[in-house]
Amino acid sequence: MEHRYLLCRFLVLCLVISLILFLDFQLGQGQVRITKLNESRFIFNDHNSWNVKINSLIDMNIEADVTISMEYLSQFQQQQTIYKARTFFIMKMNNLFIIIWKMSSMNKNSKEYLYLEALNWKYERISYEWNITNQRIISIPSILSIDQLTLTKDNNNQLNSHVIINQHGQPIFILNSIEKQQIKFFNLFTSHQSSLSIKNDLILNKTMNWIPLTINDQFYFIDSLKPFKFFNCNFNKSKCELSSKSERTLFFRDATQFVRYDKTNYFLGIISLSVSCSDCSQMSRPHLMILLNEFDRFQLIYLSEPLEFDRLPMLNPFSMSEQVNSTNYCYGIIREIIPELIINWDFPYNKLLFTLSINSKQTFLVSLNRIGIFVRSIINSQKTKYTNEQIISFGQFTASNYCSHLSQISKFKSNKSLIEKDKLRQIYVNDTIQSPTYPTFSLVSNTDRRNLIAWIDYDSINYGLIGRYLTEFNSMNRVHGLMIDAGGNHGMYSFYAAMFNQTVHVFEILPKYWIVIEESIRMNKQIGERIHVHKCGISDRFGQWNILPDDGTTRLTFQQNSTQNQIIEAFPLDEFIFQRVSLMKIDVESFEIRALKGAFRAIRLFGVGAILIEIAPSRWLWNNITLYDGITTLEYVTSIGYYSNYIILRHDSACPFANLSTVNEFTPISNLTMLNMTDGHRQITPYVYQFSHWTTIITLMNIHQWNCNFWLENHHRTNN
């Protein structure tokens, strides 16, 4: 009996140990539970493609817009015609990003140079003293003063440059010269230089889109994909050698560097394949690539289908007809979405951070979440090996299919939109006015011109506050601001803000306003290019909603099984805002609380300098917002935005001065100024009262069914 008892205890102990080991494997890194993907899903089907779909297994997010500001750069640059900036190197240090940009000029025989800047945790540009060694400090922002990296660009000397991090965490600048058959290495921290020769008999990729990676102190470059070829650089031999000499048939468009997966021999990079399909030529999208290095040999393990960044609201096809087909767009589709530089791979959270270039005009910091789980599943599934040719062919196949699918859908929508615009133009374009504002602009109207002029005059205090605020903003900041106009109507506020050098994103749900805004953009050529129209609503979450006309107002409600109402999509503003916002205007007919909830991240992280918002508490229940929920949201916004709150009273029944001016919690003010709409001079703002807490005023407005305009301003906004 005792032996049986001991045997049972032994078996139970083995079972417990096995369970612990199993759970440890399942939990993986960062205590994130994963389930190993079925290996049968990672095989080629009859169409020569993987059954697994990466886009359904990972999350893609835009973290921030880090596009370099030419206005900000102008104080340092010597040349005036900058046409391209590429992220050359980014180092994340605690709550700080050090960015080195490679700048190129349109001038022939001009120099390429490196520009340094620093961003804080809110992605604001700051001054910083970068202590790279005990003896060497680089002041930021500045032009990098390293002669070896100031490169002369001419037809006789093709040059390319990269940055990789060595095993000591030090950035190594790599300069490739095809004609001189030479590769130079420069350690930014130690200033150590070395030069390796390229064998004269090598036929290299003339596009110079080499993908760099480092293993210990050995450097490698991938030269082409089909056939898959790389060359390694040996410092002991002082030369770089190519793995093979066969003719190449496929080069990549561009790529990040490759980084090691955890502590394995697997490496991950993001490459860009450029394809053409029947409707679009030269469309580039990023693909995930995994390599295995064994015994100084590389094997291609995996190449994904295109990463579908197009599905993110900010990168959806533009709605403006002028952008339908151009150098940068094909039926509204962005032609070039190109990966540039991997910044960080946070293993405990399975988050890969890298930069993404949009048509070489914008640079976003983006993330792939759950990527570590996906990569580990791919690695664990590689029992059956496929040739490099098969894997590359799969990448080409999926890229071509994605191009065709995206272009066919966008072509259909584009053609349909053009037909609808012609009809809408005939129905709604009634008249044109010159705005009664200072400064003035032209505006197309879908109503009687006298009504539109009266509406603008009626809101003269709103315009005056905006004008004064944006004037101050421009004097304090070296860069142009960003305005969000939620509930665009005729676009009056959008065009007024554009007159103060603001880039404006206007959100509108009604076609009768889309068409007049677009006509006004064409009419105001000097400011029209600053205004971008988004034909969708804003909310606290994505959803499809019904548009319900009601007593002169238009409101959204949850979509139901109805064919009588127009359906519109609504998104959180946080899916469109990835930088500091100077001004936000919200007039969305009872959706204001949902709109604010959808902008929490933008207000808290990037900052919104001022908010003009119409609030109607008695309508909140239309969208399932309680009085408590609304008040709590407004108090939270005031807190995270560091706002002073002002109510703008009027001589009407909607927000009556006679009734509200006597509220005990209101404080008359004499130091808040506005621009006079006649001559642009400053004056004291009339009928405006300050208050600290929202409960009293919102409760009172709800009882009497009042709706008022409010001005929220951060008086402690910092320079940028």
- Residues 456-472 pLDDT 10s: 999 999 999 999 999 99
Query: What strands lie across the sheet with 351-358, from one edge to the other?
Result: 59-65, 362-369, 351-358, 337-346
Give tens-digit pLDDT for 432-489: 999 999 999 999 999 999 999 999 999 999 999 999 999 999 998 877 899 999 999 9
What gap in Å lies between CA 29 and CA 9, rounded to an integer?
31
**What is residue 243's predicted lDDT score, i.e. its pLDDT?**
63
Q: How many helices (H) and strands (E) does the chain have?
A: 14, 44
What gap in Å lies between CA 685 and CA 670, rounded to an integer?
7
Q: How confident is the model at residue 24 (pLDDT cuts 50, 70, 90)?
A: very low
Q: DSSP of 66-105, one letter per residue?
A: -PPPHHHHTTT-S-S-EEEEEEEEEEEETTEEEEEEEEEE
What gap in Å lies between CA 417 and CA 422, rounded to an integer?
9
What gap in Å lies between CA 455 and CA 685, rounded to an integer?
19
Q: Are 210 and 174 in contact (CB under 8 A)?
A: no
What gap in Å lies between CA 64 and CA 366, rounded to an integer?
7
Please give the DSSP secondary-structure letter assigned to residue 322: G
Give tens-digit pLDDT for 497-550: 999 999 999 999 998 999 999 999 999 988 988 999 999 999 999 988 888 765
Q: Are 674 and 685 in contact (CB under 8 A)?
A: yes
**Distant-in-sequence contacts of 412-421, Cβ < 8 A, 24+ apart:** 413/317, 413/331, 413/332, 414/317, 414/324, 414/331, 414/332, 417/319, 417/321, 418/321, 418/324, 420/511, 421/321, 421/515, 421/518
Please give the DSSP secondary-structure letter assigned to residue 108: T
What gap in Å lies between CA 623 and CA 597, rounded to an integer?
13
Who has greater pLDDT, 601 or 70? 601
Phi and psi of 380, rounded to 5°? Answer: -70, -15
- Backbone CA torsion sign across 366, 208, 100, 501: negative
What gap in Å lies between CA 609 and CA 606, rounded to an integer?
10
Residue 36 has pLDDT above 70, yes or no: no
**Tokens 């609380």 sit on residue:** 593
**Tokens 């709150």 sit on residue:** 645
Domain 437-538+574-713 belongs in CATH node 2.30.230: no
- Which uninterrupted H or E stretch holds 531? strand 531-534
Q: How confident is the model at residue 321 (pLDDT cuts 50, 70, 90)?
A: very low
Question: How many CA atoms within 13 Å lie on the side-chain side of 171?
Answer: 18
Q: Are 566 and 547 in contact (CB under 8 A)?
A: yes
Q: DSSP of 551-589, one letter per residue?
A: TTEEEEEE--S-SSSEEEEEE-GGGT--S-EEEEEE--T
Phi and psi of 347, rounded to 5°? Answer: -65, -45
CA distances from 508 to 441, 466, 571 (A): 20, 20, 12
Q: Are 488 and 506 in contact (CB under 8 A)?
A: yes
What gap in Å lies between CA 497 and CA 513, rounded to an integer?
18
What gap in Å lies between CA 494 and CA 505, rounded to an integer?
8
What Rg value do the Cα atoms of the chain yield, rounded? 29
Among 62-66, 167-171, 308-312, 488-492, which is the least confidently predicted range? Answer: 167-171
State the first-to-last Cα distance of the chain, in angstroms, to the nearest integer: 81
**What is residue 25's predicted lDDT score, i.e. its pLDDT?**
38
Q: What are the structure tokens assigned to 55, written together? A: 């886009």
**What is residue 618's predicted lDDT score, i.e. its pLDDT?**
95
Instruction: Identify the CA nearest to 432 among candidates 478, 491, 376.
Output: 491
What are residue 423's DSSP bridge partners? none
**What is residue 142's predicted lDDT score, i.e. its pLDDT?**
84
CA angle 9, 15, 19 (to 5 degrees): 145
Please give the DSSP secondary-structure letter assigned to residue 441: -
Residue 434, judged by CB atoms within 10 A of its CB (0-12, 13-18, 19+), counts as exposed
What gap in Å lies between CA 24 and CA 14, rounded to an integer?
15
What gap in Å lies between CA 698 and CA 707, rounded to an integer?
9
**What is residue 178's predicted lDDT score, i.e. its pLDDT?**
54
pTM, 2 dp: 0.85
Among 81-85, 302-306, 446-450, 599-603, which is the least confidently predicted range? Answer: 81-85
Domain positions in the chain are 28-47+252-428, 437-538+574-713
Residue 662, judged by CB atoms within 10 A of its CB (0-12, 13-18, 19+), counts as exposed
Can you tell me the mean pLDDT for 336-352?
Answer: 85
What are residue 275's DSSP bridge partners? 283
Give tens-digit pLDDT for 658-691: 999 999 999 999 899 999 999 999 999 999 999 9
